[in-house]
């Protein structure tokens, strides 16, 4: 897998992985994750494509400033990174929170989005796992550092190992969520994590939705990919989005959970490459985008 490189944007360090040559693909990771989400996917894709996998601000090896962690801010940051790396257009692939950012990027900068791939994406319905809703509760910023102290972390992991020896097998989703959360060891990382969660989730669930703008995706080749046993964001969102986006492709893997890029990387890569091979990149300019908006508003 390619190593993390760095550049400075607007005075902040951005980490990213860049590999391969050919048509561009941008891979956007989810909440509390990093570009390492795609570590099993990048090598195969890089044989045919230019692959860019950034660490979002507040995540991985990118800076974690006190600032804006909204979907729009993340989308603007990705646009700036693409400009700096001379990537004019790309297929935009987003996992979980990254799916919401991918849709936002396609909405804010449609001329840069050739295809859209939503992998267990946020922003497509209200329902979301209770663990994430809990982070939106008042006072979570005081509780999270205690939960993630090395002392408690080590003992919780030791207890988990003891239970596994007794025959208990934690689901992959719980295991990966815990591993993701325990990477938030710095105060800056914890603060960025909480700000990011609260930008899209409240105690009632997801509060940012793309449903009223999904009609815009009808002009961009779109694929929706989900695990049938997803316990973070329900697979029902996949079926509803597929119905809402004419011409979209739906891939649901039985028995799989939320973290498809590293739970089922071979299957995921095969599906993604097939989608790229069998679709033509969109070319949405400002005039076309404007006309689509006006046609919808006149109904």
Active site residues: 96, 230, 258
CB 249 within 8 A of CB 218: no
Q: Where are the beta strands (DSSP E) in the chain?
A: 5-9, 12-19, 24-28, 50-54, 90-95, 113-119, 201-202, 205-206, 222-227, 249-253
Please report where in the chains the tokens 């790229």 appear, as a residue. Answer: 276
For residues 115 and 104, give the distance between their C-alpha atoms in angstroms, rounded to a whole number: 13
Residue 112 is classified by DSSP as G
3-class SS at 64? coil
Token pair, residue 42, equals 């990048």
DSSP-assigned beta bridge partners for residue 226:
252
């Amino acid at each position: 897998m390619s190593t993390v490189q760095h550049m400075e944007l607007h005075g902040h360090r951005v980490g990213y992985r860049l590999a391969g040559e050919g048509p561009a693909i941008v891979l956007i990771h989810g909440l509390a994750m990093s570009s390492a989400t795609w570590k099993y996917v990048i090598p195969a894709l890089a044989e045919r494509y230019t692959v860019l996998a950034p660490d979002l601000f507040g995540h991985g090896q990118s800076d974690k400033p006190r600032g804006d962690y909204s979907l729009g801010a993340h989308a603007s940051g990705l646009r700036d990174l693409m400009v700096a790396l001379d990537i004019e257009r790309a297929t935009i692939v987003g996992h979980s929170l990254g799916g919401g950012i991918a849709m936002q990027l396609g909405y804010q900068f449609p001329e840069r989005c050739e295809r859209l791939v939503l992998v267990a994406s946020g922003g497509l319905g209200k329902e979301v796992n209770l663990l994430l809703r809990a982070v939106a509760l008042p006072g979570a910023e005081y509780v999270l550092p205690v939960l993630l102290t090395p002392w408690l972390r080590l003992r919780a992991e030791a207890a988990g190992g003891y239970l596994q020896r007794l025959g208990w097998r934690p689901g992959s989703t719980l295991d990966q969520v815990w591993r993701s959360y325990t990477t938030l060891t710095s105060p800056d990382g914890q603060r960025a994590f909480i700000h990011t969660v609260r930008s899209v989730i409240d105690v009632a669930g997801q509060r940012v939705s793309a449903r009223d703008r999904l009609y815009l995706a009808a002009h961009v080749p779109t694929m929706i990919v989900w695990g049938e046993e997803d316990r973070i964001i329900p697979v029902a969102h996949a079926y509803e989005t597929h119905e809402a986006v004419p011409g979209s492709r739906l891939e649901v893997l039985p028995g799989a959970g939320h973290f498809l890029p590293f739970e089922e990387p071979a299957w995921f890569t095969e599906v993604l490459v097939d989608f790229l091979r069998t679709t033509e990149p969109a070319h949405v300019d400002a005039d076309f985008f404007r006309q689509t908006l006006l046609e919808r508003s006149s109904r």
